């Protein structure tokens, strides 16, 4: 009798363990933890960087307030014969249309949208997101005459709904993997050291059009990257348009 009781106890324990294991595996599948562990994720992600063997970097600037430093940035890009990206908020485009047109006509800048009103877009409804994107694209296009295909969410804040809406409108959602922290008013040297330390092949560098020391840091950053053997592309030139996946870090990978 005792043998039967022990055997039954073991069977019950085995059954409980099996049930718990099944539940655990189910939860992993639902949350995407298994995908993350394997280097992929089921969660939607923007493009933070691009996997490439080429030593290439994309410099990008967000423009929401002020334009007094824009000329300095543009002159630096021209002096070093490189191109970069601007992500522009609608009210900046409407306030500085001549400057936006100058950026476009310079041939040095690829322009994308940074939203219409600079909100936390993960908090918006689908219809509000669609209005933010469509309005901003129309405003910028009316000034530049060019199609817009790149979008950067304000504050880097996004949701699956936002990414779905952007994709449906033909927009690639772009983040960054190197933050210059120019918005913290770091010195030009500190900004450059931060960028040069963290950049890698296919990196996208974040800066701001109105950063206190961005104009002073830009030549140091460019020369430092050139000395490391890097060349420069716009984000539109860097990203893959088809046959790609995005890993759990946001790096776009060619299949």
Q: How far is the CA of 73 from the CAs of 82, 143, 160, 170, 215, in angstroms?
A: 11, 20, 34, 29, 6
CA distances from 154 to 88, 115, 169, 173 (A): 10, 7, 18, 11
Does pLDDT of 74 surpass 50?
Answer: yes
- Residues 22 and 148 occupy one common structural domain: no
Q: How far apart are CA 129 and CA 116, in angstroms?
A: 10
pLDDT single digits (tens) 184-204: 999 999 999 999 999 999 999
For 194, the enclosing helix (H) or strand (E) is helix 188-198
Question: Are residue 113 and residue 21 in the same domain, yes or no?
Answer: no
Query: What DSSP letter does each residue of 46-79 carry, written as one string?
Result: -B-EE--SS-EEEEEEEESS--TTHHHHHHHHHH
* Buried residues in 164-193 as b, exposed as e (16+ CB within 10 A): ebbeebebbbbbbbbbbbbeeebebebbbb
Give the residue numbers spanning the domain of 6.
2-31
In a shared domain, residues 78 and 177 = yes
**23 and 90 within one domain:** no
11-20, 99-108, 182-191: least confidently modelled range: 11-20
Residue 38 is predicted with a pLDDT of 38
Exposure class string for 90-113: b at 16+ Cβ within 10 A, else e: bbbbeebeebbebbbeeebbbbbb
For the chain, count helices (H), then strands (E): 10, 11
Please check whether residue 226 lies inside any domain of the structure. Answer: yes
Nearest in space to 209 (alpha carbons), one of 57, 116, 79, 93: 93
Quick one: average pLDDT of 216-223? Answer: 98
Based on the fold, state whether residues 125 and 17 are members of the same structural domain: no
Predicted pLDDT at 6: 41
Residues 130 and 177 both lie in one domain? yes
Q: Is the pLDDT reported for residue 160 higher than 80?
A: yes
Check pLDDT > 60 for residue 4.
Answer: no
Q: Give residue 43's pLDDT.
A: 66
Report the candidate in 254, 245, 251 with the shortest Cα–Cα distance to residue 42.
245
pLDDT value, residue 36: 33
Tell me: do 81 and 206 sit in the same domain: yes
pLDDT at position 154 over 50? yes
Q: What is the mean pLDDT of residues 80-89?
A: 98
Same-domain check for residues 170 and 134: yes
Domain membership flag for residue 215: yes
User: Is residue 115 predicted with pLDDT exceeding 60?
Assistant: yes
Residue with token string 């800066």: 207
Q: Is pLDDT of 133 > 80?
A: yes
Percent of the chain with pLDDT over 90: 83
Whether residue 181 lies inside any domain: the answer is yes
Number of domains in the chain: 2
Whether residues 9 and 78 share a domain: the answer is: no
Same-domain check for residues 6 and 98:
no
pTM of the model: 0.83
**Catalytic (active-site) positions:** 62, 208
Coil, strand or helix at 163: helix
pLDDT averaged over the chain?
88
What 8-state DSSP symbol labels residue 40? B
Pair 9, 129 in one domain: no
């Amino acid at each position: 009798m005792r043998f039967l009781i022990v055997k039954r106890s073991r069977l019950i324990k085995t059954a409980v363990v099996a049930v718990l294991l099944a539940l655990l595996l189910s939860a992993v599948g639902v949350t995407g933890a298994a995908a993350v562990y394997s280097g992929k994720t089921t969660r939607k992600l923007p493009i933070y960087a691009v996997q490439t063997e080429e030593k290439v970097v994309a410099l990008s600037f967000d423009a929401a307030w002020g334009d007094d430093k824009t000329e300095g940035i543009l002159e630096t890009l021209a002096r070093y014969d490189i191109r970069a990206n601007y992500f522009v908020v609608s009210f900046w485009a409407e306030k500085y249309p001549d400057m936006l047109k100058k950026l476009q006509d310079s041939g040095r800048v690829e322009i994308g949208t940074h939203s219409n009103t600079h909100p936390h877009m993960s908090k918006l409804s689908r219809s509000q997101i669609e209005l933010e994107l469509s309005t901003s694209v129309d405003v910028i296009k009316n000034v530049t005459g060019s199609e817009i295909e790149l979008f950067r969410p304000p504050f880097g804040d996004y949701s699956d709904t936002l990414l779905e809406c952007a994709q449906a409108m033909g927009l690639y959602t772009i983040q960054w993997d190197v933050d210059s922290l120019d918005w913290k008013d770091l010195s030009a040297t500190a900004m450059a050291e931060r960028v040069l330390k963290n950049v890698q092949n296919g990196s996208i560098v974040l800066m701001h059009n109105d950063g206190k020391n961005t104009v002073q840091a830009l030549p140091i950053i460019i020369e430092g990257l050139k000395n490391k053997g890097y060349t420069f592309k716009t984000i539109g030139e860097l990203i893959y348009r088809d046959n790609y996946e995005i890993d759990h870090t946001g790096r776009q990978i060619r299949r």
